[in-house]
């Protein structure tokens, strides 16, 4: 897959979680999210235990709480959506005093908001932990190990590799505009920004053509060679499965108690 590509989400470390093979962590994170999503929203205590499991995993990975919480800010749009649900949802309503004012909220909307917040936050936290303990290159190798379609892996690989290249190109174009005294201050400047977007598209397309020709000249025939073939031992699979299996046990208890 070529050289490594560090990302700001990754936090270098030598913890037991960092040492696990990437495909084991991918499978464990996916299984954990499936368990969380399958949990009935009324089992509030179960989500609390899931949060404890995430915190324990973060502690084992030596990921500071502040680092994890800052990365969770990405879900703010979903939080805003969840906050609106009790106000717009239909069905039985309950009156709640907010700031001395009586507000009518939908019961189903409250449950829906809780469902989105709890499951969304836990899913994002699991993803952040995965990204914090696994380099992007290792994640791509893990996807290959899990037999994801090669074309999808290649698309993800190229996106990761050249996303920063395009971002740098846009930054240079922005510097060039400012050096010529341009400042976007209103709708009358949208034409310039549209031309910038068109120029960026053309430059990106031309760069992609040059990169493809360079790859073909070096023997590329539609698939990337697998440089590292990391096999996981039964012990490593057992360590990685500790999180989803414990979460599954919590889910089964919740289902039994509610049934």
Kindly report the length of the chain: 259
pLDDT per residue over 135-180, tens digit each?
A: 888 888 888 888 888 888 888 888 877 877 888 888 888 888 888 8
**What is the pTM (predicted TM-score) of this model?**
0.79
- Confidence class for position 181, pLDDT limits 50, 70, 90: confident
**E strand spans, 144-244:** none
pLDDT per residue over 59-97, tens digit each?
A: 999 999 999 999 888 888 888 888 888 887 887 887 777
For residue 68, give the H/E element and its range. helix 65-71
**In Å, how far from its chain's centre is CA 198?**
29
Nearest CA to 104 out of 115, 89, 82, 116 is that of 89
Cα distance between residue 14 and residue 175, in whole Å: 39
């Amino acid at each position: 897959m070529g050289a490594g590509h560090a990302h700001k989400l990754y936090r270098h470390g030598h913890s037991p979680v960092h040492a696990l093979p990437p495909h084991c962590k991918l499978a464990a994170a996916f299984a954990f999210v499936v368990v969380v999503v399958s949990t009935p929203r009324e089992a509030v205590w179960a989500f609390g235990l899931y949060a404890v499991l995430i915190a324990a995993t973060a502690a084992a990975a030596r990921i500071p709480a502040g680092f994890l919480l800052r990365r969770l800010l990405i879900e703010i749009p979903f939080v805003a959506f969840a906050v609106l649900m009790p106000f717009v949802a239909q069905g039985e309503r309950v009156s709640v005093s907010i700031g001395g004012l009586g507000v009518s909220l939908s019961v189903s909307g409250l449950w829906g908001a809780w469902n989105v917040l709890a499951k969304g936050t836990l899913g994002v936290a699991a993803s952040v932990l995965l990204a914090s303990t696994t380099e992007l290159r290792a994640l791509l190798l893990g996807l290959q190990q899990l037999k994801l379609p090669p074309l999808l892996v290649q698309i993800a690989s190229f996106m990761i590799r050249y996303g920063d290249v395009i971002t740098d190109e846009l930054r240079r174009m922005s510097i060039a505009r400012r050096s010529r005294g341009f400042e976007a201050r209103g709708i009358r400047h949208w034409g310039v920004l549209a031309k910038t977007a068109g120029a960026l598209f053309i430059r990106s397309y031309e760069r992609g053509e040059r990169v493809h020709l360079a790859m073909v000249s070096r023997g590329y025939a539609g698939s990337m060679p697998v440089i590292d073939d990391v096999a996981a031992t039964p012990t490593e699979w057992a360590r990685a499965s500790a999180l989803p299996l414990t979460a599954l046990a919590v889910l089964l208890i919740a289902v039994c108690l509610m049934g």
